[in-house]
């Protein structure tokens, strides 16, 4: 029987959920208007700078741990092979036991023009987050389905200090409509050594199968040759009746 993971442990783990962001790099640039035509003479002098929506957040790739001698939170983050998403693996350890582990996929939603993420924990819980930014502060509104079917929600606040440090806290926490205490702000730093979390390999896009060859139409069988009409045998020649022998005429006797 599955044990319900405590919301405190889940939210501590969501420290790692609040720190990744997606980047469907090509999708965003496709929605931009085409630049005006540049005269051929000036073309070489024009340098076009393409700004992707999430490039300034790439500093979060790598390995991270909670600040302190015995960090309870670890996560690793990297781009997927196509560069369209960030994949992150996380682990929360309390009393030398792994209480919660899982992974998260973060991407850019071209329909809503904002960052979204999808989280899956090892016990079967899952959720999604919606991100908004104001300066160096990111507000992540989350909702989750727990392993026993319960519904949970919270607002995580991530504040970037520099490229190697950020602060995180969680407020407005609830489970099935019941409010729970906030998670105090903690500091997370870039790991200087190896950590126990490894991002699972995300397969590259599977190529679409080629259209099956259309079989050629079967050849239309040739009509059988019409047999030649049988040769009508010629009528047999009518035999010529033999001529009737002429009767011998006796020569008249000569009188002496």
197 lies in a domain? Answer: no
63 lies in a domain? Answer: yes
Burial zone of 172 (CB within 10 Å; 0-12 exposed, 13-18 middle, 19+ buried): middle
- Residue 18: half-sphere exposure toward Cβ, Cα within 13 Å: 33
Q: Over the stretch 104-122, which tens digit does the pLDDT of each residue have?
A: 988 889 899 998 999 999 9
111 is in which domain, residue-wise?
7-33+47-190
For residue 87, give the CATH number of its domain.
2.40.128.20
200 lies in a domain? Answer: no
Which residues 6+ apart lie within 8 Å of 217 measured at CB? Answer: none
Query: How many CB atoms are located within 10 Å of the residue 248 CB?
Result: 6
Q: Looking at residue 33, what is its pLDDT?
A: 42
Q: Looking at residue 60, what is its pLDDT?
A: 85
202 lies in a domain? Answer: no
Which residues 6+ apart lie within 8 Å of 106 measured at CB? Answer: 20, 21, 22, 23, 85, 86, 87, 88, 115, 116, 117, 118
23 lies in a domain? Answer: yes
pTM of the predicted structure, to 2 decimals: 0.60
Compare 87 and 47 and report the one with higher pLDDT. Answer: 87
Q: Over the stretch 48-66, which tens digit does the pLDDT of each residue have?
A: 555 567 776 778 899 999 9
Q: How many domains are there within the chain?
A: 1
115 lies in a domain? Answer: yes
53 lies in a domain? Answer: yes
Using 50, 70 and 90 to split pLDDT, how confident is the model at 242?
Answer: low
Q: Which two tokens stand for residue 185?
A: 């702000």
Q: Is the Cβ–Cβ distance between 106 and 46 less than 8 Å?
A: no
Using 50, 70 and 90 to split pLDDT, how confident is the model at 243?
Answer: low
């Amino acid at each position: 029987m599955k044990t319900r993971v405590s919301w405190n442990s889940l939210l501590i783990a969501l420290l790692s959920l609040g720190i990744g962001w997606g980047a469907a790099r090509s999708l965003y640039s496709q929605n931009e208007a085409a630049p005006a035509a540049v005269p051929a003479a000036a073309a070489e002098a024009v340098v076009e700078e393409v700004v992707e929506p999430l490039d300034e957040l790439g500093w979060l790739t790598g390995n991270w741990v909670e600040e302190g001698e015995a960090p309870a939170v670890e996560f690793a983050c990297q781009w997927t092979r196509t560069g369209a998403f960030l994949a992150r693996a996380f682990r929360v350890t309390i009393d030398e036991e792994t209480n919660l582990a899982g992974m998260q996929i973060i991407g850019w939603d071209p329909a809503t023009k904002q960052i979204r993420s999808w989280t899956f924990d090892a016990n079967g819980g899952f959720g999604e987050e919606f991100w908004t930014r104001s300066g160096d502060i990111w507000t992540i509104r989350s909702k989750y389905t727990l392993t026993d079917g319960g519904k949970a929600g919270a607002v995580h606040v991530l504040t970037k200090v520099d490229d190697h440090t950020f602060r995180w806290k969680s407020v407005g926490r609830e489970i099935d409509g019941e409010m729970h205490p906030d998670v105090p702000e903690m500091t997370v730093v870039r790991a200087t050594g190896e950590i126990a979390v490894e991002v699972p390999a995300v397969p590259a896009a599977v190529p679409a199968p080629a259209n099956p060859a259309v079989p050629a139409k079967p050849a239309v069988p040739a009509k059988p040759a019409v047999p030649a009409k049988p040769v009508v045998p010629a009528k047999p020649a009518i035999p010529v009746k033999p001529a009737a022998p002429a009767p011998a005429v006796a020569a008249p006797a000569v009188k002496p």
